[in-house]
Amino acid sequence: MASAALIDGKAFAAGLRARIAEGAAAFAHQAARQPGLAVVLVGDDPASQVYVGAKARACAEVGIASFEHRLPADTSEAALLSLIERLNQDEAVDGILVQMPLPGGLDEAAIIAAISPDKDVDGFHVLNAGRLSVGQPGFIPCTPLGCLMLLKDRLGDLAGMEAVVIGRSNIVGKPMAQLLLAANCTVTIAHSRTRDLAQVVRRADIVIAAVGRPEMVRADWIKPGATVIDVGINRLPPEEGKAKGRLVGDVAFAEVAEVAGAITPVPGGVGPMTIAVLLRNTLEAAHRHAGLPLPEGL
């Protein structure tokens, strides 16, 4: 019987989206237009198409205008950069998201760099990464910010806690560590080259698993009572007689839940937060664009 409390990201995200909808309606009244998010999809990657469709539906639900640009896989880098520049100049567009991964032959770093930092609601631009690093206002990547919201909702003040982030990606690991540091945690970034990884993780009051390896984090890695945030989402090979394999995180959920104080499930934990925070970042971009303060509670 699991002893850990479940951190319900789905429920928290629903509450956040409700507050965003209120903020978007108030913004539309003040600015005489909806906040606007442009989403660019290049090629026909099935997972990317699902994500883009989900983002469009989420925008519609909260009152954010969604501008979709679906381009063929053979789109040239020059054509994509030209579209981004038009979106940078478009007054109806507050946020720009280019769905990754891009088809081969397109330079992802160059594409991200072309997006105006003030419309970079994914928080991937190097200027926004730098702003996060030195504590200046900027856009924060959606998944780490969603994780921080869940942690603060569960634990309150994080000051003085020891946190271990497993994974050092620019999208999750590094910005997550910066956010925890800003929240006055003592932070360790662990990765594939970390010596005695289990022992390092065992020190932590807060564990963020973001490595992309199914069920890598085991029960004996976890300090009793620790809070575990599982960012991973991996599909296992299908069992005999089944068309699809199970979705699992980077944490062996059943056994870790016996030890941890609180844990996010997969699915239903961090995943719902990512799109909700994208909507929140877009609303913030709209307020900045219009010179208006962001409503409290967001």
Q: Is residue 50 part of a domain?
A: yes
Mean pLDDT for all residues in the chain: 96
Quickly list H helices, 138-183. 142-155, 173-182
Residues 153 and 267 in one domain: yes
pLDDT at 190: 98
- Residue 151 in 3-state DSSP? helix
Is residue 208 over pLDDT 70? yes
- Tell me: do 266 and 149 sit in the same domain: yes
Among the listed residues 74, 64, 118, the one whose alpha carbon sits nearest the alpha carbon of residue 96: 118
Tens digits of residue pLDDT in 33-58: 999 999 999 999 888 999 999 999 99
Q: What is the pLDDT of residue 24?
A: 98
C-alpha to C-alpha distances, 212 to 87, 167, 234, 235, nearest whole angstrom: 33, 9, 7, 10
Q: What is the CATH number of the domain that holds 193?
A: 3.40.50.720
Over residues 244-266, mean pLDDT: 96
Q: In the chain, what percentage of residues exceed pLDDT 90?
A: 90
226 compared with 242, residue with greater pLDDT: 226
Question: Are 100 and 149 contained in the same domain?
Answer: no
Torsion angle in degrees (nearest 10) through CA of 26, 31, 33, 39: -90
Distance of CA 63 to the CA centre of its chain: 21
Residue 132 lies in a domain: no
2 — pLDDT class (breaks 50, 70, 90): low
- If you write DSSP's letter for every residue of 227-295 in order, what string do you get? EEEE---EEPPPPTT-SSPPEE-SB-HHHHTTT-SEE--SSSSSHHHHHHHHHHHHHHHHHHHHT-PPP
Q: Is residue 297 part of a domain?
A: no
5-19 confidence digits (pLDDT tens): 999 999 999 999 999
At 296 the pLDDT is 87
Question: Is 255 within a domain?
Answer: yes
**pLDDT-derived band of residue 244, with 50, 70 and 90 as boundaries?**
confident
**Residue 98 CA: distances (Å) to CA of 111, 122, 124, 153, 174:** 8, 9, 10, 30, 20
Percent of the chain residues past pLDDT 70, beyond the cut:
99
* Residues 246, 146: Cα–Cα separation, whole Å: 24
Same domain flag for 56 and 172: no
pLDDT of residue 151: 98
Is 98 among the domain residues? yes
**pLDDT tens, position by position, 209-224:** 999 999 999 999 999 9
Task: Tell me, yes or no, whether 288 lies in a domain.
Answer: no
Q: Which two tokens stand for residue 89?
A: 């100049």
Residues 111 and 164 in one domain: no
Identify whether 195 is part of a domain.
Answer: yes
Judgement on whether residues 211 and 251 belong to the same structural domain of the protein: yes
Is residue 41, in this structure, part of any structural domain at all? yes
**pLDDT at residue number 245:** 86
Q: Kindly indicate the confidence band of residue 261, based on its pLDDT and cuts at 50, 70 and 90.
A: very high
Catalytic member of 99, 118, 119, 174: 99
Task: Find the catalytic residue in 55, 119, 174, 223.
Answer: 55
Name the residue among 12, 2, 31, 24 with its Cα closest to residue 261.
2
- Residues 188, 236, single domain; the answer is yes
Q: Domain range for residue 107?
A: 32-116
Average of per-residue pLDDT across 141-170: 98
Is residue 105 located within the same domain as residue 177? Answer: no
Peptide bond into 101 cis (omega under 30): yes
Q: Is the pLDDT of residue 3 over 90?
A: no
| Contact between 222 and 209 (Cβ < 8 Å) | no
Average pLDDT, integer, range 129-139: 96
* CATH code of residue 104: 3.40.50.10860
Same-domain check for residues 111 and 153: no
- Residues 267, 146, single domain; the answer is yes
Q: Are residues 215 and 160 in the same domain?
A: yes
**Residues contacting residue 269 through CB under 8 Å, at least 6 positions apart:** 7, 8, 9, 10, 150, 229, 230, 249, 263
Asked if 259 and 196 sit in the same domain, the reply is yes
Mean predicted confidence (pLDDT) in 119-144: 97
**Catalytic hit among 94, 118, 120, 122:** 122
Domains in the chain: how many in total? 2
d(CA 214, CA 217): 8
* Model pLDDT, residue 238: 87
Is 119 annotated in the active site?
no
Alpha helix stretches (DSSP H) within 73-117: 77-89, 108-114
pTM for the full predicted model: 0.95
Q: What angle do CA 42, 243, 70 make, to 5 degrees?
A: 10
